[in-house]
Amino acid sequence: MVDISKILEQSLPVVRDTGQWIQSMVNKIAIEHIQYKGKNDLVSFVDQTAEAKLKESLSLIFPEAGFIAEETASDFSEVGDGFYWVIDPLDGTTNFLHQLPIFAVSVGLVYQKQPILGLIYEPNRDELFYAAKGHGAHLNGLPIQVSSQPTLEKSLLATGFPYHDFSYQDKYLALLKELMQKSHGLRRMGAAAIDLAYTACGRFEGFFEANLKPWDVAAGKIIIEEAGGKVTNFSGGKSVIFEGQIIGAGAIFEEFLGTLQMHWKN
């Protein structure tokens, strides 16, 4: 029997320490340290070193779990139903490299392709969001809940813009146009983990984004769910981690999803 509470307790300092090390590296990255994995997909030795630190420590905490990590996972199509750590060592790399203080460490633990544990640490505000299945969601030790705001009209929403795959740009822009008119506004933070964490604690009423990877959403999904929210793919299905699309919200979820689906046909 896996003791999820114990795994969470032991993982908290690992994620926090990694995030604080990342923050210590701000202003120490030169242009020659930046690499490109693809169009507008940046990486540095900070991402790579942080991932190595996380994998080393997490493998000691729960050695039975495999890894799906951003900087070393070239293919996750053969992932089975066992335990996997799903890691984004530095979500918001572009923000970090431009010295914009909006980035985070995101670590999830999945079983049967669903997250059972999640941690997101934003070092600039020293905020550690975390949740384990059946144990609620917390921020720095205090319980959090999604927003109870019932209408889209009075909601603040978050999203991420296409930055390398522009094939769905037109329908995305049409959806953004409607949401701009029907809400308090849209925010684009540049780090999906932070968008999800902020939705979990009610700062955003909802978040959606397409073309994401498992490490972008694994931790945030369980945190929102344990905070009382709902998370699905754009079709309303429960399969999210490996689908590449996510919508999560509190009380506005059904109206939010319905608005999205009027513009987004899979």
- Extract the annotated binding site for Mg(2+): 70, 88, 90-91, 216
Residue type, 216: D
Contact 107, 119 (CB under 8 A): yes
Contact 255, 205 (CB under 8 A): no
Q: How far, in Å, are 16, 59, 182, 218 from residue 199 at the CA level? A: 20, 29, 18, 14
Q: Residue 99: left if φ>0, alpha if ψ -120 to 50, beta else—which one?
A: left
CA distance 189 to 193: 10
> In the numeric block, which tokens belong to residue 177?
């146009």
Contact 248, 231 (CB under 8 A): yes
Signed CA dihedral, 224, 18, 82, 216: sign only: positive
> In the numeric block, which tokens belong to residue 83?
């335990």
Q: Which residues pair with 104 in a beta bridge?
A: 91
Could you list the residues known to form a binding site, using ranges: 70, 88, 90-91, 216
Contact 105, 90 (CB under 8 A): yes
